[in-house]
């Protein structure tokens, strides 16, 4: 008990920091943080410190001073003594307040992470390196970094080897997925056409189709199997 | 994750005339050309200039 309780307490104290980290880097239900575990842990613990620094005065206020820093340190020290026993009893008396504190602080961490991410997007702060996610593919395929105008969609051309032949696939990028290291795992294309790479313009008589459409609504392209990838951005402009 | 797709494009991409333009090879013509190359297509009563964007990216990307 004397060892387990401080451990549980520490866990609940740093949990909001991990929740913040989890949702701050969550874009469209995908984690876009590929930092090493050590860095993630350090930033989560730092976020937990800030969150507790903000929330702790409220805990002291609503427990009428019973749950305070002195009590917290006594419990965390886990030294079996009179003050420790008294602190545990006090904690037991105000356990519901402590529980509500952890729940509310975790909720606050979740909301703060989402609001911060929204603010970064809203005010285009990702142009600043500090706020930028460590995933250039994300910015490339979301067309984020164009200086003037915004593309309307992304066109992909990829070469794939099938048997002894190399084919060129061209289609409109609909979705893309990352692996756990932040590299592209697969691309989902629509309106896909393909041709043998050898059928270049000058080798096919004018008027003959070089490409032929691939049947189906979605074409899943495994990035690892692509020899190379060409990305083009297309813009639509209404003509009055 | 969802790739970049403007509302305007989502709207016209469901139109059979857009699909006809695709079959006619509008993207191949543009995609095979140089920056800024464009084609005009008609979807419904609206005309669109479909063009390949010029390279004015602010950041460098993985090769």
Q: Tens digits of per-residue pLDDT, A69-100?
A: 888 888 888 777 788 888 888 888 888 999 99
> Contact A147/B48, CB-based, under 8 Å?
no
Number of other CB atoms surrounding residue A205 within 10 Å: 6
Q: What is the pLDDT of residue A118?
A: 94
pLDDT of residue B29: 62
Chain A: closest CA distance from residue B1 (Å):
5
How far apart, in whole angstroms, are the C-alpha atoms of residue A19 and residue A34? Answer: 16
**Residue A127 to residue B51, Cβ atoms within 8 A:** no
* Per-residue model confidence as pLDDT tens digits over B22-63: 777 777 666 665 555 677 888 888 888 888 877 655 554 554
pLDDT score of A3: 59
- Cβ of B50 within 8 Å of Cβ of A213? The answer is no
Chain B residues with a Cβ under 8 Å from any Cβ in chain A = 1-6, 8-9, 12-13, 19, 22-23, 25, 27-28, 30-32, 40, 46-53, 56-59, 61-62
Assembly ipTM: 0.81
> Cα angle at A156 between A150 and A161, to 5 degrees?
165
Mean pLDDT on A141-150: 79
A80 burial (CB, 10 Å; 0-12 / 13-18 / 19+) is: exposed
Closest chain A residue to B30, measured at CA: A234
Residues A203-211, mean pLDDT to the nearest whole number: 59
Can you tell me which residue has the tokens 């979605």? A218
Largest CA distance in chain B: 40
What's the gap in Å between the CA of B26 and the closest CA on chain A? 11
CA dist., res. A92 & res. A215, Å (int):
66
Structure confidence at residue B36 (pLDDT): 57
For the stretch A215-239, pLDDT in tens is 888 999 999 999 889 888 888 888 8
Mean pLDDT for A142-168 is 85
Res. A117: pLDDT tops 50? yes
Contact (CB<8Å) B48/A239 = yes
Mean pLDDT over the full length of chain A? 87
Q: What is the mean pLDDT of residues A196-216?
A: 68
Query: CA distances (Å), A175 to each of A35, A126, A136, B26, in order?
Result: 24, 21, 16, 22
Return the minimum-mean-pLDDT range out of A41-55, A134-148, A150-164, B2-16: A134-148
Q: What distance in Å separates the CA atoms of residue A118 and residue A43, rounded to the nearest whole number?
A: 19
A2-25: average pLDDT: 89
List chain A domain ranges: 4-134, 137-234
Looking at the complex, report in whole angstroms how far the Cα of residue B55 sits from the nearest Cα belonging to chain A: 8
- Residue A45 banded pLDDT, cuts 50, 70, 90: very high
pLDDT band per the 50, 70, 90 thresholds, residue A201 = low
Tokens of A5: 């309780």
> Confidence class of residue A2 from pLDDT cuts 50, 70 and 90?
low
Helix (H) / strand (E) containing A4: helix A4-24
For residue B22, give the chain A residue with the closest CA.
A191
CATH topology for A137-234 is SH3 type barrels. (2.30.30)
Q: Which of B4, B12, B56 lies at the smallest CB-CB distance from A147?
A: B56
């Amino acid at each position: 008990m004397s060892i387990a309780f401080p451990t549980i307490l520490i866990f609940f104290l740093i949990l909001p920091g991990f929740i913040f980290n989890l949702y701050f880097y969550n874009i469209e239900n995908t984690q876009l943080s590929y930092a090493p575990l050590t860095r993630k842990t350090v930033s989560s613990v730092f976020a937990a410190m800030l969150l507790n620094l903000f929330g702790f005065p409220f805990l002291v206020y609503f427990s009428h001073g019973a749950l305070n820093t002195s009590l917290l340190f006594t419990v965390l020290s886990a030294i079996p003594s009179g003050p420790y026993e008294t602190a545990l009893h006090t904690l037991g008396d105000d356990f519901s307040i402590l529980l509500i504190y952890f729940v509310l602080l975790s909720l606050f961490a979740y909301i703060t992470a989402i609001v911060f991410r929204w603010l970064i997007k809203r005010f285009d702060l990702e142009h600043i390196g500090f706020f930028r996610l460590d995933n250039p593919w994300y910015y490339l395929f979301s067309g984020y970094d164009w200086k003037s105008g915004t593309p309307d969609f992304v066109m992909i051309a990829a070469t794939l080897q099938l048997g002894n032949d190399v084919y060129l696939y061209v289609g409109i990028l609909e979705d893309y997925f990352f692996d756990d290291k932040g590299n592209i795992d697969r691309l989902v294309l629509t309106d896909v056409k393909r041709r043998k790479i050898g059928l270049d313009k000058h080798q096919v008589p004018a008027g003959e189709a070089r490409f032929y459409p691939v049947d189906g609504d979605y074409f899943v392209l495994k990035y690892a199997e692509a020899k190379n990838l060409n990305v083009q951005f297309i813009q639509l402009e209404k003509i009055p | 994750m969802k790739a970049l797709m403007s509302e305007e494009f989502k709207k016209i991409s469901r139109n059979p005339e857009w699909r006809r333009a695709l079959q006619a090879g509008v993207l191949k013509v543009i995609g095979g050309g140089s920056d800024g190359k464009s084609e005009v297509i008609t979807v419904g009563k609206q005309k669109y200039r479909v063009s390949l964007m010029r390279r004015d990216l602010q950041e460098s990307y993985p090769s």
